[in-house]
Structure 1
């Protein structure tokens, strides 16, 4: 098994020597009173230490990692996550702790994804140990232009392979939980889900309750997910920093009386709050988002204990440093980046915005404060959100105050219900409060989603453009805070540069022409881009699949600035023999879509074979000239391999989209 190289370009031993040399320079700089040398040296030491830590935390760099060992016939794996329910499978993470090579077992390390067939197996539990036949398969790189890099995403989580199990390849041989805390956590998750399922009968309300309170999102459908995404409230559907923040505020309000009790009131208060926060983190499965927020709020709570005047920016920096020491790859996690940017935005901007108005009415004041918080967070996160997700929720200011208001009811009511579920009357009252808080939360989200132009989509932003946009936002804020014209001038200059970049990009996009043979698992599809219009040709099933579009096409169209999309049903443009002729900028494309036994006549620049249309290249291509034969993934794998061997012997140019990924013709 070969994986993408994530190792350092030179030995880590050299880094140790380099750090040692820099430490000597740093000590010398202390005595020579040279602050520039001291500061530069210290920064280099920190950078190299972080690099070394990342090397050590990269699973594949361990010699015992299964990707660094010989090929094996069997392996033993223990489940290390809660099972995620998919339409046809149960998806879990597993640790491979032993492999069988040449009939002998040897220890190993490394994580893999396992997919269990739901029809053939029970739901796997945390700690279950399985004996599995064959080797897991490497997670593949993206095979379409601009497609989400799922392989890199998994590698950042230390996962390099996956294995689909259909019932005959494995056997459960025991149960050995690696962590009793996590085992308890996952059981608490399952208990919570069973309570919500029994108490809340309406599907959408049950799904949101389970997602908000304990982070279980298995049952959330696409319509509900799209509604929350379009209204800018998608963060509600996963237990995150917002939820921990709400709990932190509630605990502070409920337990404030402890501070005034005795000499050690502050210390007891801090200890109780921190314990309860970590208890909630354990209850929600110790997800990375909850861990980050819990660490941060724990550090915030510790400062008053030592009678220290805390600097919130130092607190954020310390919490980030601690988290990155635990897992350096959280630095490239989108949730990590967005959560810290949101908090920085609130800390920096909210106090100034809140001073602009002081409503006397409690309800209006709460709405105003909620709006200020949402605006501050959204302003600091929207360039990064657009960069990653290519869309912007237009009416987030309308949705988020209501979302925050109802969330303050949902989270405590949900947690309270889990604690008092067996108590008849009291649990019914709390269920009523929880259910109707969820009803109004969903109503507000769906209302915002249905507003015209509720979500602006189709953005594509480069990293330089994103940085320019952040610079513009910060300069505008400084101009309004300090009333210095120099900030406005520089911001206008940067905006002019951005404007010129966008005009240039728009010009090239308006004149672009491209034809792409897409790699789509078990399917066929072609995109033709002409200016800012795109036509996708495929069968009806594929055209109606939003999932296929979102995963394989959306980013590609956004990158090319496509604003007009057309769909053509493939069958309508094929003759009786299943042949479609296309002409693209003088290039002739022949597309065979059903069994073809005859001899092709004439020539074509490209020939696309689909649905096992051709199994023998000779005599089909004996009298036909073509520059390239393209075989898509709708063909069976053994047919593709056979065609590749035939092409080699006949000296024909042939590629398989499964091997090469999408193939594009650009003009």
Structure 2
């Protein structure tokens, strides 16, 4: 049955990659889960289905996905009234510690609107900022693109962003909820990190442990993104796997009963949920972890495909709209990879290394778990993000297993802060580990050949097919195909490297002919067309909301190229919102002989950290004359280190050569 399993697995993933390029997201995601269920059935077959539960849960997954996308395609929003762009009166409780910025504060409010509960991310420009657990009444201005019932895995109800300019305090201390205690725990951990860890290490320690990136520097955040390790800055299944795995290892050394170990694992999972503020990803990971840990009470294998399927069903039943999120898909595929491939891969490594040193084998097992997760998430990530990250393939095994100890050390340091010598000892270990993480990601982020960009889907199909083929050949011990598979994958990687190094047309911005649209925002003028926009000048605190709203109404959903010209100091907040929302491929900033203002420098660093190529024009860009005429605005790579911004106006081409 090994040959049908290999062929079935390869066929499923090839079809998955092909379907991922379809424009209909409903068909793609339903097909993804259908193929996942089919693959589960294939690996469970001998002469009969190994467990009928696997078949049933796979079918329920498909039904939930179909239901989710049927609602999404049919209604676009949940069948409730959409939040308006005008000021709306709300009453809620501050459920996160307000963070102070230049001129405003940011926090979350737990509220109820039209019978639906949810969180609202607030940008507070009032004179006085409320504190945690205060009940307030305010008029909130929602942005059109965010102030709606969103169909993603954020929540089943509201997850909106709004702006407050004034509010009324209703109650100093509202009824305490789990979010209150979560915020207090996060605040305590943050104070402990500030006290016992210094320098850039404290930002890395806090973000990896709790997902709080308020202390993470732009350089460090950019290094995490460039090495495909941004998922480490959001507490998710990766943290659960390694933290609970470490706990399981300690309990086994002590000699605890398996049932006691399972209970301790669930308690640890609850603590992690509080530390991470009950984000959707951490709740999803907790459900999977709890079901797997408690399987021992029912005399079942703890980490099995059955446990994963049951967890997926529970997640989708509580919130079927989670199926629309890419993070949910990646989480399920990562767990599936670890449950399905970890044991054979670990046995293979143990056989090669021998069983003499158990500590070396423990490190090898952590690397095997990381590789098993990458095996199934790589194809989906490549298709959705448009590139294959070679640095990510290197950085994940080098960083993730060791970064898994970081939350354990930070939590111990925080819980034992009443014993300063012990806390200082844990703080020293945290600093050493953070220094190692930053050293690895900073070195790998400088590699020029770290990414492979491609416009054609067949590259991904070939890559994923060869990788899956090679891995299955090794795991299933098909000796005859090992040499052939190794030769094919080596040849492919060599071709990719050479092509990516010498050819410069892998990454291109948008080139569309269309009637340009002049959008008047709050003291701003935006010339937009297709998927490109030129911010001539933008001012005012509400410019981001108005510009984004009018871009959306003009049929422009995402901007791939943004050119900034004649910006004013009051427009930086608007530009920051536009860049964060669109994550453009290219950002062109105006030429200047003088040093850029501090806010513009921060804006450039932010863009780089989001993966945007920031280009400085070598001359002034004046585009106000483009009002109402047909033009092409696009940027393309002309050589390895330079771009050409082409402006075609009434058949007269003006070319500006610009370099990064």
Provide TM-score, normalisation by structure 1: 0.61
Mark the CA change 1:458 to 1:165 in structure 2 (over 3 Å): closer, same or farther.
farther
- Equivalence map 1:571-590=2 (5 Å): 571=620, 579=625
| 2:373 matches 1:377 | yes
Asked if structure 2 preserves the Cα contact closer than 8 Å seen for 1:258 and 1:266, the reply is no
Residue in 2 aligned with 1:76? 91
Asked if structure 2 preserves the Cα contact closer than 8 Å seen for 1:537 and 1:569, the reply is no
Mark the CA change 1:470 to 1:402 in structure 2 (over 3 Å): closer, same or farther.
closer
Distance 2:397 2:232 in 1: 12
| Structure of greater relative contact order (alpha carbons < 8 Å, 6+ residues apart) | 2
Give the CA deviation at 1:467: 7.2
How many residues matched?
A: 507
> Residue 270 of structure 1 aligns to a residue in which SS?
helix
Asked if structure 1 preserves the Cα contact closer than 8 Å seen for 2:375 and 2:468, the reply is no
Give the CA deviation at 1:511: 13
Mark the CA change 1:540 to 1:200 in structure 2 (over 3 Å): closer, same or farther.
farther
| 2:399 matches 1:407 | no
Question: CA deviation digits over 1:411-434, x for unaligned, max 9?
Answer: 222111111112122222221112
Distance 1:394 1:130 in 2: 49
> Residue 353 of structure 2 aligns to a residue in which SS?
coil
Mark the CA change 1:131 to 1:384 in structure 2 (over 3 Å): closer, same or farther.
same
Asked if structure 1 preserves the Cα contact closer than 8 Å seen for 2:196 and 2:423, the reply is no
- Equivalence map 1:454-465=2 (5 Å): 455-456=450-451, 458-459=453-454
Question: CA deviation digits over 1:463-510, x for unaligned, max 9?
Answer: x98678656654554455364999999xx9xx99xx9xx9xxx99999
| 2:280 matches 1:288 | yes
Distance 2:305 2:56 in 1: 24
Asked if structure 2 preserves the Cα contact closer than 8 Å seen for 1:535 and 1:567, the reply is no
- Equivalence map 1:358-373=2 (5 Å): 358=353, 365=361, 368-373=364-369
Mark the CA change 1:449 to 1:165 in structure 2 (over 3 Å): closer, same or farther.
same
Residue in 2 aligned with 1:554? 584
Mark the CA change 1:407 to 1:566 in structure 2 (over 3 Å): closer, same or farther.
closer
Answer with 1 or 2: which has the greater Rg: 1
C-alpha RMSD over aligned residues: 5.2
Asked if structure 1 preserves the Cα contact closer than 8 Å seen for 2:334 and 2:377, the reply is yes
Bigger drift between 311-320 and 266-275 goes to 266-275
Residue in 1 aligned with 2:512? 514
Distance 1:70 1:228 in 2: 35
Give the CA deviation at 1:316: 0.8
Q: Aligned match of 1:439 in 435, 438, 447? A: 435
- Equivalence map 1:628-643=2 (5 Å): none
Provide TM-score, normalisation by structure 2: 0.62
Give the CA deviation at 1:456: 1.2
Asked if structure 2 preserves the Cα contact closer than 8 Å seen for 1:112 and 1:136, the reply is no
Residue in 1 aligned with 2:39? none
Residue in 2 aligned with 1:116? 123
Distance 2:367 2:339 in 1: 14
Mark the CA change 1:539 to 1:161 in structure 2 (over 3 Å): closer, same or farther.
same
Give the CA deviation at 1:229: 1.7
Give the CA deviation at 1:361: 6.3
Asked if structure 1 preserves the Cα contact closer than 8 Å seen for 2:149 and 2:157, the reply is no
Distance 1:511 1:294 in 2: 40
Asked if structure 1 preserves the Cα contact closer than 8 Å seen for 2:58 and 2:309, the reply is no
| 2:236 matches 1:229 | no
Residue in 1 aligned with 2:290? 298
Mark the CA change 1:459 to 1:87 in structure 2 (over 3 Å): closer, same or farther.
farther
Question: Structure 2 regions of 5+ residues with no counterpart?
Answer: 1-25, 27-53, 533-559, 588-611, 634-648, 652-660
Distance 1:528 1:42 in 2: 43
Give the CA deviation at 1:549: 5.9
Give the CA deviation at 1:193: 0.7
- Equivalence map 1:28-47=2 (5 Å): none
Q: Aligned match of 2:324 in 316, 332, 345? A: 332
| 2:103 matches 1:131 | no
Give the CA deviation at 1:351: 3.8
Asked if structure 2 preserves the Cα contact closer than 8 Å seen for 1:519 and 1:525, the reply is yes
Question: CA deviation digits over 1:318-366, x for unaligned, max 9?
Answer: 1111122222222222222212212222333344444153166677655
Asked if structure 2 preserves the Cα contact closer than 8 Å seen for 1:200 and 1:435, the reply is yes
Residue in 1 aligned with 2:181? 184
Distance 1:511 1:426 in 2: 53
Distance 1:61 1:536 in 2: 32
| 2:311 matches 1:319 | yes
Residue in 2 aligned with 1:612? none
Question: CA deviation digits over 1:563-619, x for unaligned, max 9?
Answer: 999764673557xxx64699978x99xxxxxxxxxxxxxxx979xxxxxxxxxxxxx
Mark the CA change 1:552 to 1:84 in structure 2 (over 3 Å): closer, same or farther.
same
| 2:195 matches 1:165 | no
Question: CA deviation digits over 1:360-379, x for unaligned, max 9?
Answer: 66776556444433333223
Distance 1:438 1:44 in 2: 44
Q: Aligned match of 2:260 in 242, 262, 268? A: 268
Give the CA deviation at 1:49: 6.9
Q: Aligned match of 1:395 in 391, 397, 400? A: 391
Distance 1:41 1:68 in 2: 38
Distance 2:396 2:259 in 1: 35
